Amino acid sequence: MAVTIIGFNDPLAGSNSNLMGTQPSGLNDSGEVVGTYQSSDGIYHGFLYNSNDNTFTTLNDPLATGNFGTQATGINDVGQVVGVYQGAGEVLYGADSSSQCIIE
pLDDT (0 to 100) of residue 3 = 72
Specify the long-range contacts of residues 84-89, CB closer than 8 Å, at least 24 apart. 85/61, 87/63, 88/63
Residues 45 and 58 sit within 8 Å (Cβ to Cβ): yes
Query: What is each CA distance from 78 to 62, 94, 103, in whole angstroms?
Result: 23, 19, 12
- The pTM of the full predicted model, rounded to 2 decimals, is 0.81
pLDDT (0 to 100) of residue 95 = 47
Tell me which residue of 60, 47, 51 sits closest to 7, measured CA to CA: 51
If you average pLDDT over residues 70-80, what whole number do you get?
92
Tell me which residue of 14, 65, 15, 71 sits closest to 48, measured CA to CA: 71
2-60 pLDDT, tens digit per residue, is 777 777 789 888 877 677 789 999 999 999 999 999 998 889 999 999 988 999 999 99
Instruction: Give the residues across from 47 on adjacent strands.
Output: 35, 58
In 1-104, which residue ranges form alpha helices assigned H by DSSP?
none
Instruction: Give the residues across from 74 on adjacent strands.
Output: 82
